[in-house]
Amino acid sequence: MIKLLHTADLHLDAPFPSLDEKESLRRNDFLQTFERLLTLAIKNEVDLFLVAGDLFDSPRPSAAVVGKVQAGLKRLSDRGIVPVLLPGTHDSTVAADSVYRRTEFPGAVVLDAAVVDEPVSLSVGGRQVYLYGFAYRSFASEDALSGMVRRSAEGIHIGILHGSRQGSPEWEYRKKDLPFTLAQLKGWGLDYVALGHYHGFEVLEEDGRAYACYPGSPEGKRFGENGPRYCALVTLDADGAEVTRKTVNSRTLEERALDLSSCEGLDSASAAISALGGPDLLLRLTLTGIVEAPLDLDALRARCDSDFFHLQFQDKTRLFDSDFARRIEGEETVRGVFVRRARRLMEEAPAEQKGLVEEAFREVLVRFGAFGGGAS
């Protein structure tokens, strides 16, 4: 039996310009999650620490981040754990100044060849282990997936691939995404394939046997990578692979909707939003419902920001159906004229454009100062 910690898509040193002054904190979250993975590997006394691509967010991460990775991997190798790194699509080896071309990672196995001529052979816990993996380079890796086929019956054979499974909701067609099918993967005859590239956790299994796993991104990089994030702890023995997921993220991304129909103003709306808060939460909140006055999102955010690590609004509230809109529609003011013209435009607009009209309607009424009167 051997034990693996399998992770991928850490995207260390990724930029987060939308977070403004919190960008550096968010980058540090990703490094803390990397450290958490190292600690988890040591605590569970794994034999191999597998990174199936995109350890870094680009081929040129900062020297400070590279130094932290080198120190972390040394923590593992000093304890007899072998780190195995596979370049991905974000941190590919294509560029001459790629981090994998100019940096040494002492104690780690870096699978940076363009094809698998022969698997890398290691002695792990008295068992012979063979590693199959390659760093995609156009033309040189044209038929590289054929090199993933098991070479012998002896030992434990592990594949590491940064690629796309056909049939997945995240299916991509680019050649560099290395598309494969489950049938093709099974045909390689490997004991386990450590996958990367897709950011959601998924075990590829059939008839009760686990053939491979996407551990997903261990820290949510963008909205859509919501909720808990994981790595995979894998036990390989004569009966096959047993995969256990472990939660490892530092902060959590969520997307929610909040109906503000019952909120009478800024005070009650901000109270309802703040009730969803948490210091480690990055929330994209869709505001819905019929409101009696347009929302000043800047003022609303100013009241609620401190209750979240990051807060982002999508305003889908409706004003056309409100008593407020009907009341000012008859005004002999610039505001009243605007509402009447917007009403006609909404009636004439095709269905796919009505949302844009509603959005413009809200924005203009905020600028008019909808809590007061309109200019004559």
Tens digits of residue pLDDT in 15-35: 999 999 999 999 999 999 999
Buried b (16+ CB within 10 A) or exposed e, 240-274: ebebebbebbbbbbbeeebebeebeeeeebbebbe
Strand 209-214 to 202-206 pairing: antiparallel
Closest listed residue to residue 234, CA positions, set 214, 207, 206: 214
Q: What is the pLDDT of residue 355?
A: 76
* Arithmetic mean of pLDDT over the chain: 90
Alpha helices in 161-311 (DSSP H): 182-187, 266-274, 297-304
Do 230 and 245 form a contact (C-beta atoms < 8 A)? yes
Q: What is the pLDDT of residues 30-73, one digit of tens each?
A: 999 999 999 999 999 999 999 999 999 999 999 999 999 999 99
Q: Are 150 and 123 in contact (CB under 8 A)?
A: no
Q: DSSP readout, 112-179?
A: --SS-SS-EEEEETTEEEEEE-----TTTTTTGGGGGS---SSSEEEEEEE-EETTSTT----GGG-E
Residue with tokens 């995979």: 232
Per-residue tokens: 64: 């400070």
Dig out the tokens for 48 from the structure. 């191999």
